[in-house]
Amino acid sequence: MTSLATEAPMASPVAEPLRPIAVEMTGVDKWYGTFQALKGIDLTVRKGEKIVICGPSGSGKSTLIRCINRLEPHDKGTITVNGIELDGSPGRTQDVRLECGMVFQQFNLFPHLTILENCMLAPRLGRGVAKEQAEAIARRYLERVRIGEQAMKYPSQLSGGQQQRVAIARALCMEPRIMLFDEPTSALDPEMIKEVLQVMEDLAAEGMTMICVTHEMGFARRVANRCVFMDKGEIVEEATAEDFFGNPDSDRLKQFLAQILH
Amino acid sequence: MNISTADFWGYVGQMLDGAVVTIQLFMSGFTLALVFGVAIGIITLSRNIVIQAVWRVYASIIMGVPSLLIIFLLYYGGSAMLRGLFGNNLYVDVTPFGAGLAALTIVYAAYVAELVHGAVRNLPRGQFEACAALAIRPVSAWRHVIMPQLARLALPGLVNIWLIVLKDTPLVSLAGLNDLVANAKIAAGATKEPFVFFIAASLFFVVASALTMPLSNWLERRFARGLQRVKA
Ligand SMILES: Nc1ncnc2c1ncn2[C@@H]1O[C@H](COP(=O)(O)OP(=O)(O)O)[C@@H](O)[C@H]1O
Ligand SMILES: [Mg+2]
C-alpha cells in the first residue's frame, strides 16, 4: 500500500525528538565529463550524528564528501548544509565552508608555515580574528590534539600521524559545526593510525557532527551512528554499525566486507 | 701603450659610465620582466579561450624571434607603433634605453610567465583545496599560501633568467646605447688595445654573475624554511 509506505517513517516510534538536519542531499548527480561519479545520492545527516562512508576505491566516496563543501560542484539535485543551500553562488559556498571543517588523506598542511601559523591563518583571513586571539585558539586546539609542544615546528619535521592531528586542529580552529574526513588514516603507517583515530573519537564524544570516509571498521563500530556503503556512484546500503557489519543486506556489501575483513 | 695616461683614464671613466648604464638597464629590465611575468603567468592560468589565444601568440613570437630583432623593432619602429596606438599627434622620442628596456621586459616576462606556469603545475592540488575548505578567499590564498611556495619552486629558474638577461643586456648597444660594451668597443678602437678593454668588460660580467650566487643561496635558504625534510 502506498499510503502505508509514505506514513511509515512518521509512524515509527521516536525515542527522542529528531535533531535538526545538518546535511541533506537529495537526488544528487555528479559527472566528470561523460563519467557519472554520483548517481541520485540521497543522504540526511542530523546534528551530532557520526556517519561512516565506505566502499571500494573509485565508488565516489571522495566525490560525495567533496560535494558537501563544494570542492566539487554537483550537477543535479540539492545539497543543504545547516539550512544553507549550495546553489553555486560564491556567498553560499563561502557560508557552507565556514560551517564545515575538512581533513584530507594527504594532510595538505601548508609546508612554508609553522604548525602554529598553519592553525592561525584561516581564522585570521576568513573570520578576521585578531592575532593574539587566533594564537590562543590555535594553541587550545593543538593542545586538544595533544601536539601543543610542536607549535613552532614546520610540518616536514613531524610524523604523518602528528601532521594529520595538526590538520584536524587546523580545521577545528575555524570552529566548524560539521567535520568531513576523507580517508584520514589511509596515508599513515599502521602505528600512527591509532593516535589519529583517538583524536577523532574524542571529537565524536564531544558531540561533533562527523561524516567520515574510512575503512577503519573498529572506529566505525565504536563511533558511527550509521554506516553508508557506496558502490559505482550509488548508496547501496545504509544501516546502523551493528547491522552493517553483522547483518549486511546486499551481496555487494557482503562481498566488500569479506574483502576488507577476511 | 700607444696613448697618454690621461687619455687612458678618460676611457676608463667612460667604461665606468657605461657600466652604470648596463647595470641600470639590467636591473630595471629584470625587475619589470619579473613583475609583468608573474602577473601574466597568473592571468594566463585562466582557461578563458581569448586569454589563451593571446598568450599562445605572444609566447610563440617571443620564443621564436631573437631578442636583437625585438630590440630593433621597438627602437626603429617604436615611434610609429606608439603613434598607431595613441594617435598621430603624439610625438615620442624612443631612446635606445627605452627600446631596450621595453624589449627585455617583453621578452623575459614571457619566460617568467612560463616559469610561473611550471611552478603552479608542480604545486600539489591539495594546497588549493585546503585553502578552499578553510574558506580562505582566492586572493588571500594566493598571497599567503600559493605565492610563497611558487617563489621557492621558481627560484632556480629565476636565477637562470637573471643570468641570461644580464648577458642579453649588451645587445641594446647595437641600437646605439652607450653601455659598457659599446664604450669598451670605442675605447678598444681608439687605443688599439682591444684586450685591455674587452677583458675588463668581460670581468665586469664575470663578477656580476658571481655575485648572483650568494644572493640566490640566501634567497633559497629564506624560501626553504620548513621545506627541507629533516633527516632522521
Ligand atoms: N577530477 C576528476 N576528473 C575525472 N574523474 C574523476 C575525478 N575525480 C574522481 N574521478 C573519478 O570518479 C570516480 C569516483 O572517484 P572518487 O570519488 O575519488 O572515489 P573514491 O573516493 O570512492 O575512491 C572514480 O572513477 C574517479 O576516477
Ligand atoms: Mg577517495
- Superfamily, domain B9-231: MetI-like (1.10.3720.10)
**Ligand having the closest approach to the CA of A37:** 1
Measured between beta carbons, the chain B residues lying within 8 angstroms of A155 are 226
Cα A37 to ligand 2 centroid, rounded to whole Å: 12
Task: Give the DSSP letter of residue A46.
Answer: E
Q: Is the CB of A214 under 6 A from ligand 1?
A: no
Q: Is the CB of A82 under 6 A from ligand 1?
A: no
**Tens-place pLDDT, residues A145-160:** 999 999 999 999 999 9
Amino acid at A42: D
Element (H, E) at B21: helix B5-43
Give the pLDDT confidence score for residue A2 in this predicted structure: 43
Give the pLDDT confidence score for residue A5 in this predicted structure: 44
Q: What average pLDDT does range B127-149 have in this prediction?
A: 95
**Tens-place pLDDT, residues B7-31:** 888 888 999 999 999 999 999 999 9
Q: Which residue of A has its CA nearest to B124?
A: A108
Give the pLDDT confidence score for residue B4 in this predicted structure: 77
**Protein residues placing their CB within 5 Å of the ion ligand 2:** A 62
The residue whose CA is least distant from atom 12 of ligand 1 is A37
B130/A104 Cβ within 8 A: yes
Q: Is the CB of A63 under 6 A from ligand 1?
A: yes
Q: Is the CB of A73 under 6 A from ligand 1?
A: no
The minimum-distance atom of ligand 1 relative to the CA of A66 is: 17
CA distance A209 to chain B (A): 17
Q: What average pLDDT does range A2-6 have in this prediction?
A: 44
Mutation target among B122, B134, B221, B227 for the A interface, most CBs of A within 10 A: B134
Which has the higher per-residue pLDDT, A14 or B157? B157
Q: What average pLDDT does range A117-145 have in this prediction?
A: 94
Read off the C-alpha cell for B135. 574558506
Whether A7 shows a pLDDT value over 50: the answer reads no
Candidates B159, B145, B163; CA nearest to B219 is B159
Q: List all residues 6 or more positions away from B215 whose beta carbon is below 8 Å from its beta carbon.
A: none
- Ligand 1 pocket test, pick from A54, A63, A211, A214 with the greatest ligand atom count within 8 Å of Cβ, gives A63
Read off the C-alpha cell for B80. 610609429
Cα A186 to ligand 2 centroid, rounded to whole Å: 10
* B124, B226, B230 member nearest A114 (Cβ): B226
A94/B145 Cβ within 8 A: no
Q: How remote is the C-alpha of B46 from its chain's centroid?
A: 24
Q: What average pLDDT does range A136-153 have in this prediction?
A: 95
Check the CA dihedral A78-A81-A85-A90 and report its sign: negative
- A-B contacts at Cβ under 8 angstroms: 76
The residue whose CA is least distant from atom 3 of ligand 1 is A32
Q: List all residues 6 or more positions away from A239 whose beta carbon is below 8 Å from its beta carbon.
A: A226, A227, A247, A248, A249
B226/A113 Cβ within 8 A: yes
Tell me the C-alpha distance between B52 and B26, whole Å.
Answer: 29
The minimum-distance atom of ligand 1 relative to the CA of A72 is: 1
Measured between beta carbons, the chain A residues lying within 8 angstroms of B129 are 71, 104, 108
Domain ranges of chain B: 9-231
Whether A96 shows a pLDDT value over 70: the answer reads yes
Whether B5 shows a pLDDT value over 90: the answer reads no
Amino acid at A244: F
* B135, B137, B226 member nearest A174 (Cβ): B135
Tell me the C-alpha distance between A208 and A49, whole Å.
Answer: 8
pTM of the model: 0.84
Measured between beta carbons, the chain B residues lying within 8 angstroms of A92 are none
| Contacts by residues B197-200 (CB-CB < 8 Å, ≥ 24 positions apart) | B197/B11, B197/B15, B200/B15
CA distance A148 to chain B (A): 18
Q: Are B41 and B116 in contact (CB under 8 A)?
A: yes
The minimum-distance atom of ligand 1 relative to the CA of A213 is: 21
B145/A121 Cβ within 8 A: yes
**Distance between start and end Cα atoms, chain B:** 64
**Tens-place pLDDT, residues A48-94:** 999 999 999 999 999 999 999 999 999 999 999 999 999 999 999 99
Measured between beta carbons, the chain A residues lying within 8 angstroms of B136 are 121-122, 125-126
Q: Is the CB of A155 under 6 A from ligand 1?
A: no
Give the pLDDT confidence score for residue B79 in this predicted structure: 80
Note which residues in 141-200 of chain B have CB less than 8 A from chain A: 144-145, 148-149, 152
How does the average pLDDT of chain B come out, rounded? 89
Give the pLDDT confidence score for residue B144 in this predicted structure: 95
Q: Are A184 and A160 in contact (CB under 8 A)?
A: no
